[in-house]
Copies of this chain bind each other. A is one copy, B any other.
Amino acid sequence: MKQVTGYAWPMLGRRYEGQQCSVARTLEIVGERWTLLIIRDALLGLRRFDEFQISLGIATNVLTNRLSSLVDNGILTRSRYQAAPPRFEYHLTDPGRELATPVLALMQWGDRHVAGRRGAPRLVRHTTCGGAVAERHVCADCGPVDGAEVAIVPGPGLRVG
């Protein structure tokens, strides 16, 4: 990651809650530990309230709130799979499935830096050829590139000052 001196400051300002930063706006939706772990579980194939509850071991009211928030924000859809008593399951939307990229990037960072001696608990594979899949910076023209060759520059949505 190239250091971006000169314009980096004061590009952020105090209003990072607004349109100024898409990291902050994304964290307003998924930036709570249980929420990201619910999304992880959904990516792993969990669907039902009880499955999430047992996986995460959190209080049912907390889980209910987090699932409702994810439905309200268009990350999950909720559908009834049983009428009496009513039971619901949760499926990732297309935007929800796209969160696989940051979630797997967090997972692979952890595999490299905080996993135990036994190695990665989970691997990511290309279904077509079985090859190992990593989350990487990809240049539209050159293909995968290293972090040292990447710079963050101002975009059209940035208001300075």
* Majority DSSP secondary structure for residues of A touching B: mixed
Within 8 A of B (CB), among A102-161: 102-116, 118-129, 131-145, 147, 149-159
CB <8 Å contact, B144 and A143: yes
Interface check A62, CB cutoff 8 A: no
Chain B hits for A145, CB < 8 A:
126, 128, 133
Distance (whole angstroms) from the CB of A119 to the closest CB of chain B: 4
Partner of A151, one of B28, B99, B125: B125
Partner of A121, one of B22, B107, B132, B142: B22
CB <8 Å contact, A95 and B121: no
* Binary flags per residue of A21-38, CB closer than 8 Å to B gives 1, else 0: 111111111111100110
Give 11 A-B contacts (CB < 8 Å), ordered by A residue.
A4-B44, A21-B122, A22-B114, A26-B106, A43-B152, A98-B112, A101-B105, A101-B109, A121-B158, A122-B155, A132-B139
